[in-house]
Chain A
Amino acid sequence: MSSDWEAIRRVVAAFDQSDWSEIDVRWRDVRVQLATRADTGAQPATPTSAHAVPTAAPAPAPGAGTGHGVEPGAASLGRPSLPAGAHVVASPSPGIFWRAPEPGAPPFVEIGDTVDPSMTLCIIEVMKLMSHLKADVTGDVVAIYGTDGFAVVKGEPLVAIVPSEMAP
């Protein structure tokens, strides 16, 4: 329809005259996606860390919240198998998983980092309320399951830590 083309032309003109780096809007069966050259190919808004492991499979059995024991089926769920006794920090509520204090900032923790109980591992955002999840134990981060900026369900495992006293 010619009015569709007219509307698309207005969007392109607006983009050309702006300092916007990227837009992506959909209306009926039209999708307009524009990016400046420097940004071409970049994924919008929710970059995933190079260290991120595949997004978590369904939440493990009860007890994940307090975090003891490794599900025997972990490897078959596509997750790296964890050393026995790894401490799994799970989401206390449904929400959005954030690895960093703010967009663009370095993540709170990376795989391989040593953490102690006072340290924040991630933020769970529920309806604008930000809860900092702490490590609970001293140890090494061996897995990070959540994808930054994505929704998680209650009880979903987020970070696995091998407590120091168990380290070889």
Chain B
Amino acid sequence: MTATAPRSLRRVLVANRGEIAVRVVRACREEGIEAVVAVSDADRDSLAARTATDVVHIGPASPSASYLRVEQIVSGALLAGCDAVHPGYGFLSERPELAEACGSNGLIFVGPTCDTIRRGGDKVEARRIARAAGVPTGAGSDAVSDAEAATAIARDVGFPILLKAAAGGGGRGMVRIDHAGELPERFAIASREAAAAFGDARLYIERYISNARHVEVQLLGDRYGNIVHLGDRDCSTQRRFQKLIEEAPATVVSPELHERLADSAVAIGRQLGYVGAGTVEFLVDLDRGQLSFLEVNTRVQVEHPVTEVVTGVDIVREQLKIAAGQPLTISQHDVSIAGHAIECRINAESVGEGFLPSPGRITGWEPPTGERVRVDTHGYLGYEIPPYYDSLLAKLIVGGRDRAGAIEAMSAALSAFRIDGVQTTLHLHRAVLSNPDFRRDVINTRWLEATFLPQFSRAVEEAVPHG
């Protein structure tokens, strides 16, 4: 039924670093594709560089001089003889400019079209698309022009509200506002920050739902109009809108709501003509039992492995096949969810110092092993974690027959994981996994910050001898 014969990619530029670069290199190897990793000055020694077929050097350590420069990525891909570019997550992955520049230089972009990235990335436009697909977006607004208009809308919606950057996403460019009094000043700051961070000062308003779960649906779409979902994930264990623990499938959702989430995500995917791997994020209001659309992420996500564990589908390999023009190898009927998976993000941060990043040399490194234990990481013994990039050091992913089984297996794996030389969040994860609230699954998106962390800091303080 396809007009062009499916083909394969030959040589892919991995335009990223850290654990996701290692992950993409592995997927390329498994697909029989050569992987060339783009490296900055600070990443010549990276695990991705060591495991890749080849490397191309794209500039100084600072991301704005290397990983964030479209022209460096595209010319690096051309120089190293690549036929495709995989952007990973973060950096340029959701910039339509990279997809566009790849297209105009004969390179295949491993991701959706630049039109999809543009429409999905504009959060105000994405809300419109969700509504057009019949998906509730929750109380809020389109782009608001000034603080006065924002105040009027906020009074209508009811405080607290979230002020969000139209070009933001992934928890960035977001501020919670509790009273009308603080709105004018916060609006001005948020607008300036959005302009500086994203080059787009537009803000919009969403009602803040205090008792909610963050649930998202994984999509895969090919060039022939086929879209399937791979079930959902719960990413409610967050700090400052950043996910720390992710699980698949979402457990507090009724069978009926699972279905509505999946149908909503697929409907939005169809509106966007989605090609590649993507995620539609929702909030599930626990008091009202309602879902509302949050945003679309037009890339592979950090937490994709939990879905891989419960579905058996390799999302990154699927991305490569889709980019090569192959039709999806699975239909919705083939997708089934088996068991439960948990991912803990192990960050190089000092929890006791307000999660201060902790770069430095790894002097001890013993990752756990086990039948259903997976560690996605760029760490190794002797690696010097540079100060230039984010603090994600490893993702520990564990599967179990059900949630309780996965928690037991994760606790065991966390105890066995030893990292010396830098501060990490390992002990925080150990404490979360043994916490009764977490085990009983009675948490929400605020739980970690509002309930768990205050207890945790007190316990740590009391454990430290005084004097």
Q: Are A and B physically bound partners? A: yes
What is A's interface to B at a CB cutoff of 8 Å?
A: 3, 7-8, 10-11, 14-15, 17-18, 20, 22-28, 30, 32, 44-46, 93-96, 101-103, 125-129, 149, 151
B248 contacts the other chain (CB 8 A): no
Give chain B nearest CB distance to A35 CB in angstroms.
11
> Would you list 8 pairs from A and B whose C-beta atoms are within 8 A, ordered by A residue?
A10-B105, A27-B54, A46-B60, A96-B387, A103-B64, A127-B359, A127-B388, A149-B62
Partner pick for B56 among A3, A26, A95, A127, CB 8 A cutoff: A26
- Assess A24 versus B387: contact at CB under 8 Å? Given A14-B74, A102-B196, A103-B64: no
Contacts of B348 in A (CB 8 A): 127
Q: Which of A8, A18, A129 contacts B71 (CB 8 A)?
A: A18
Asked whether B10 is an interface residue with its Cβ less than 8 Å from the other chain, the reply is no
* A23 touching B71 in the complex, CB below 8 Å, given contacts A45-B64, A149-B62: yes
Nearest residue (CB) in B for A105 is B196
Given A11-B75, A45-B64, A129 and B57 touching (CB < 8 A)? no
B84 to chain A, nearest CB (A): 14
Q: Please judge, given known A-B contacts A7-B80, A127-B357, A128-B390, whether A14 and B75 are in contact too, CB under 8 Å.
A: yes
Cβ–Cβ < 8 Å partners of B59 in chain A = 24-25, 44-45
Quote the shortest CB–CB distance from A95 to chain B (angstroms): 5
The 8 A CB mask of B62-106 against A (1 = contact, 0 = none) is 101100000110111011110000000000000000000100111
B71, B72, B356, B357, most chain A CB atoms within 10 A: B71
Q: Is B58 an interface residue (CB 8 A)?
A: yes
Nearest 6 pairs between A and B by C-beta? A127-B357, A45-B65, A26-B57, A20-B71, A10-B78, A127-B391
Report the minimal beta-carbon distance from A6 to chain B, rounded to whole angstroms.
8
Residue of A nearest to B353 (CB): A93
Cβ-based interface call for B417 (8 A): no
A15 to chain B, nearest CB (A): 7
Q: Which residues on A sit within 8 Å (CB–CB) of B105?
A: 10, 14
Decide: B78 and A11 in contact? CB cutoff 8 A.
yes
Which residue in chain B gives the minimum CB-CB distance to A3? Answer: B81
B79 touches A30 (CB 8 A): yes
Report the separation of the CA atoms of residues A30 and B106 in the bound assembly, to the nearest whole angstrom.
21
User: Is B33 in the interface zone, CB < 8 Å from A?
Assistant: no
**With contact pairs A32-B79, A45-B65, A46-B65 given, residues A27 and B57 touching in the complex (Cβ less than 8 Å):** yes
Whether B387 contacts A127 by the Cβ 8 Å rule is yes
Cβ contact of B80, chosen from A23, A24, A27, A151, cutoff 8 A: A27
Contacts of A22 in B (CB 8 A): 71
Is the CB of B61 closer than 8 A to any CB of chain A?
A: yes
Is there an interface contact between B75 and A25, defined as CB atoms closer than 8 Å? yes
Please indicate the chain B residues that have their CB under 8 angstroms from the CB of A24 in the complex.
Answer: 59, 72
Alpha-carbon gap, A3 to B11, bound state (A): 15
In the complex, chain B residues whose CB is within 8 Å of the CB of A17:
104
B241 on the A face (CB < 8 A): no
Is A96 in contact with B101, judged by CB distance below 8 angstroms? no
Enumerate chain B residues within 8 angstroms of A11, measured Cβ to Cβ. 75, 78-79
Chain B 400-428 per-residue mask, 1 if CB under 8 angstroms from chain A, else 0: 00000000000000000000000000000
* A23 and B269 alpha carbons, distance in the complex (Å): 36
B169 within 8 A of A: no
Docked Cα-Cα span, A18 to B72, in Å, equals 12
**A128 with B60: CB separation less than 8 A:** no
> How far apart sit A149 and B61, CA to CA, in the bound complex (Å)?
9
Q: How far is the CB of A32 from chain B (nearest CB, A)?
A: 6
A2 to B359, CA, bound (A): 43
A163 to B81, CA, bound (A): 58
Bound CA span A166–B78, Å: 60
B79 is contacted by which of A8, A94, A127 (Cβ under 8 Å)? A8
- Considering only residues 26-76 of chain B, those with a C-beta below 8 Å from chain A are 54-62, 64-65, 71-72, 74-76
Whether, in the assembled complex, B160 has its beta carbon less than 8 Å from a beta carbon of chain A, the answer is no
Determine how close the nearest CB of chain A comes to the CB of B114; give it in whole angstroms. 15
Could you tell me if B356 and A129 are in contact, using CB atoms closer than 8 angstroms? yes
**Contact across chains for A151 and B57 when beta carbons are under 8 A apart:** no
- Determine which of A7, A14, A95 lies in contact with B387 in the assembled complex, contact meaning CB atoms within 8 Å: A95
CA gap between A95 and B387 in the complex, in Å: 5
A25 contacts B356, CB within 8 Å?
A: no
Which of B81, B101, B106, B387 has a CB less than 8 Å from the CB of A18? Answer: B101
> Which residues of B have CB within 8 Å of A101?
196
6 more contacts with CB within 8 A, not counting A7-B80, A20-B71, A128-B389, are: A11-B78, A27-B54, A44-B60, A45-B59, A126-B359, A149-B62
Cβ-defined contact, A126 with B387, below 8 A:
yes
Of B65, B76, B101, B196, which one neighbours A25 at CB under 8 angstroms? B76
